[in-house]
Structure 1
Amino acid sequence: MSEFSEQRVLIDGPVSAEHTFIFAHGAGAGMEHDFMAEVAEMIADHGIRVVRFNFPYMVKRAEDGKKRPPDRAPKLLEAFKEVIAEYRTEKTVIGGKSMGGRMASHLADVEGLKGIACLGFPFHPPGKPEKDKGEHLADLSLSTLILQGERDTFGNRAELEGYRLSDKVTLTFIPDGDHSFKPRKASGHTETGNRQMAADHIAAFIKEVCQ
């Protein structure tokens, strides 16, 4: 039996789908969080198999209910690689929400991947733009999509104008969205609409890079 039991993995979409998206969670909430579940379902509606999983520290939280900080990057990356090895198909894109997307962006050299999709990339901690966590994005050699809320406190539209990115990276903004793409009521946009927009962008990206 695989190490990745049902407790660690959730799958949406057709089992025999042509395309696979391996979708990692953010630092504070696991694979079952509302954002993860809704976006996964929306992507799966495009006929894509979406694999969600919990990083080791979140598995422990699920077991004992105790909140704990994320594991160090090497442990997170190793866990991500294990899921990729287990669920990768010929047409696989990896990605994630916030921290999960940042971890995915460090795995561009994993053999067989077609692309990376990040939702709400944490370019810097809120209020600390000097602590840049996206410098490596200038050197990515794998097709990458970054979906960013225009008002994201981890890197908003104004801050990211002119940000140095590889020509393999496409940065797309979600209208009036915060870090989870939620807009203000007066904007005329909705949270569900923005999540659907993000899912549609990801599905189109997956099918494009996997041709």
Structure 2
Amino acid sequence: MTNVNGATGGADETDAPRVTDAAQVTQVTRETIETEAGPARVTWHRAGTPRLVLAVSHGAGGGVEARDLQALAEVLPGHDVAVALVEQPWRVAGKKVAPAPKTLDAGWRGVWPALVAPGLPVIAGGRSAGARVACRTATELGAHAVLALGFPLHPPGRPERSRAGELLGAGAPTLVVQGGNDPFGRPEEFPDGGYELLEVPYADHGFAVPKRAPVTQEQALETVTAGVVRWAGSLM
């Protein structure tokens, strides 16, 4: 493990282009894809000249509106990485509780053909429960790499219930981005292994930082995006 401490299948729907800076326009499109677990939804944030795809799904307690997922979708297309935000079927159906892991994996598998359709290497990613899905299925699906955002190493207060095996078994280059105060696993709790770990100082499981922290929320998210940009660049 390398520790890096942060210094700071259906009809498409097309949104109006979203301007991220003076030189970058990101085209956003959505598609609904039928899977074994029900219809899933993919929101594409296209890059002008993509060299990679980052496909990333949400956790069990929220959706693709999560601050880190939105920040990555905003920044990465400007660095030749198309971003696909994947909404699992249970979220598309409006359910409040995530299903069992095997159902989450089935939904992810069903979306995968659409993710590889552009013919580019695909980074399988997710936050929290989505990170576990990406790790569990990476080898099977042939993922180019894995991005684990807020990997839930264990339930809060239950370090004996470790999920390290899923992370260590990903079988692809892996970056873990972890909040320094994440109750699901602080960076120092992670075992040694063939992956890189980026700490977001003072951040919790959702990369929120307290108002009293010596870094701002914007700086915390910049640590996430800058670290992922650097790592993705090393994969090209």
Amino acid at match of 2:98: P
Q: How many residue pairs were aligned? A: 201
Q: Say which SS state the counterpart of residue 144 (structure 2) adopts.
A: strand
Alignment partner of 1:22 out of 45, 55, 59? 55
Aligned to 1:157: 187
Judge conservation of contact 1:43–1:200 (CA < 8 Å) in 2: no
Q: Is 1:84 paired with 2:92?
A: no
* Alignment TM-score, normalising by the size of structure 2: 0.77
| Contiguous gaps of at least 5 residues in structure 1 | 62-66
Q: Distance in 2 between matches of 1:32 and 1:177?
A: 18
- Superposition pairs of residues 103-122 of structure 1, within 5 angstroms: 103-122=133-152
Secondary structure at 2:139 match in 1: coil
Secondary structure of 1:148 counterpart:
strand
The percent identity for this pair of structures is 25
- Checking the alignment, whether the CA contact within 8 Å between 1:24 and 1:96 is kept in structure 2 is yes
- How far the C-alpha of 1:172 sits from its partner, in A, is 1.6
- 52-61 or 88-97: which moved more? 88-97
What does residue range 1-211 of structure 1 map to in structure 2 within 5 Å?
A: 2=10, 4-5=31-32, 8-14=41-47, 16-61=49-94, 67-88=95-116, 89-160=119-190, 163-165=191-193, 167=194, 169-209=195-235, 211=236
CA shift digits 1:72-107 (9 cap, x unpaired): 112211211222211223321110111111110111
Shift of 1:15: 6.0
Query: Separation in 2 of the partners of 1:176 and 1:9?
Result: 31
The Cα offsets for residues 28-57 of structure 1, whole Å up to 9 and x where unpaired, read as 111234442233212233231100111111
Query: What secondary structure, in the 3-state scheme, does the structure 1 residue paired with 2:145 have?
Result: strand
TM-aligned CA deviation for residue 158 of structure 1: 3.7
Q: d(CA) in 2 for partners of 1:110 and 1:207?
A: 24
**Partner-residue secondary structure (3-state), 1:107:** helix
Distance 1:129 1:60, change over 3 A: same
1:127 to partner: Cα distance = 1.4
Give the root-mean-square deviation of aligned CA atoms.
2.1
Ranges in structure 2 where 5+ consecutive residues have no aligned partner: 1-8, 12-30, 34-39
Residue deviations 1:89-126 (CA, integer Å, cap 9, x gap)? 33211101111111101112134421000111000111
Instruction: Give the distance between the partners of 2:168 and 2:51, measured in 1 at CA.
Output: 30
Distance 1:126 1:107 in 2: 24
Question: TM-score, normalising length from structure 1?
Answer: 0.85
Query: How far apart are residue 186 of structure 1 and its match?
Result: 3.3
Distance in 1, Cα, partners of 2:62 & 2:122: 24
Q: Comparing both structures, which one devotes a greater share of its residues to strand?
A: 2
